[in-house]
Chain A
Amino acid sequence: MAQVAVPETLEAAPARPTTRKGSGTGDTIFAFLCRAAAALVLVLLGAIIVELFLGGLPAFKAFGAAFVTSTEWDPVQEIYGAGVPIYGTILTAILALLLAVPVAFGIAFFLTEMAPDWMRGPVGTAIELLAAVPSIIFGMWGFFVIVPVMAGTIQPAIIDTIGELPLIGSLFQGPPFGTGLFTAALILAIMVLPFIAATMRDVFLQVPGVYKESAYGLGSTRWEVMRKVVLPYTRISVVGGIMLGLGRALGETMAVTFVIGNANRITPSLFGPGNTIASIVALEFGESGAGSLKLSSLLALGFLLFVISFAVLALSRWLLRSRLKG
Chain B
Amino acid sequence: MSATTSPMPNSSVPGRAKDRATSEALGRRRARADAIVRVLCTAATILGLLFLASILLTLIIRGAGGISLSVFTNVTRPPGSHGGLLNPIIGSIIQVFLATIVGTPIGMLVGTYLAEYAGESRFGQVVRFVSDVLLSAPSILIGLFVYQILVLPFGGFSGWAGIVALAIIVIPVVVRTTEDMLRLLPNTLREAVIGLGAPKWKMIVLVCWRAAVSGIITGVLLAVARVAGETAPLLFTSLGNLNWSLNLSQPMSSLPITIYSYAGSPYEDWITLAWTGALIITLGVLGLNIAARSVLRARR
Contacts and interface: CB of A to CB of B under 8 A. Distances in A.
Contact of B38 (A114, A132, A228, A282): A114
Interface string A79-112: 0000000000000000000000011111101110
Interface size classification for chain B: 35 or more
Interface residues of A, number: 95
A305 B141 contact: yes
A31 B201 contact: yes
A314 B112 CA distance: 23
Interface string A285-311: 100001000000011001001100110
B2 A38 contact: no
A278 B281 contact: no
Contacts of B25: none
Contact of B45 (A36, A102, A106, A254): A106
Contacts of A143: 263
B44 A317 contact: no
Interface string B123-144: 1101101111110111111101
A55 B148 contact: yes
A285 B144 CA distance: 10
Interface stretch (B10-18, B80-88, B223-231): B223-231
Nearest to A143: B263
B138 A132 contact: no
Contacts of A137: 55, 59, 229, 278, 281-282
Secondary structure of the B contact surface, majority rule:
helix
B42 interface: yes
Given A41-B175, A144-B62, A247-B136, A34 B55 contact: no
Nearest to B112: A34
Contacts of A130: 48, 51-52, 55
A135 interface: yes
A107 B46 CA distance: 9
Given A41-B127, A253-B139, A306-B137, A134 B231 contact: yes
Given A42-B127, A126-B49, A141 B43 contact: no
Nearest to B113: A34
B117 to A, nearest CB: 6
Contacts of A250: 138
B144 A31 contact: no
B110 interface: yes
Nearest to B232: A253
B1 A114 contact: no
Nearest to B140: A253
A134 B38 contact: no
Contacts of B138: 250-253, 278, 305-306, 309
A35 B113 CA distance: 6
Secondary structure of the A contact surface, majority rule:
helix
Given A44-B168, A106-B41, A34 B117 contact: yes
A192 to B, nearest CB: 11
B54 interface: yes
A134 B225 CA distance: 9
B127 to A, nearest CB: 5
Interface stretch (B26-34, B68-76, B210-218, B241-249): B26-34
B281 A23 contact: no
A325 to B, nearest CB: 10
A110 B45 contact: yes
A235 interface: no
Contacts of A125: 290, 293
B259 A136 contact: yes
A33 interface: yes
Nearest to B134: A45
Interface of B: 1-2, 30-31, 33-34, 37-38, 40-45, 47-49, 51-52, 54-55, 58-59, 62, 106, 109-110, 112-114, 116-118, 123-124, 126-127, 129-134, 136-142, 144-145, 148-149, 152, 168, 171-172, 175, 199-202, 204-205, 225-226, 228-232, 235-236, 256, 259-260, 263, 274-275, 278, 281-282, 285-286, 289-290, 293
Q: 4 tightest A-B contacts by CB?
A: A251-B138, A134-B229, A106-B44, A30-B201
27 contacts: A30-B200, A34-B109, A34-B110, A37-B106, A37-B109, A41-B130, A41-B131, A41-B175, A102-B44, A107-B48, A110-B41, A123-B45, A126-B48, A126-B49, A126-B52, A134-B256, A134-B285, A135-B232, A193-B48, A218-B2, A221-B30, A221-B31, A248-B136, A253-B139, A254-B260, A302-B141, A309-B137
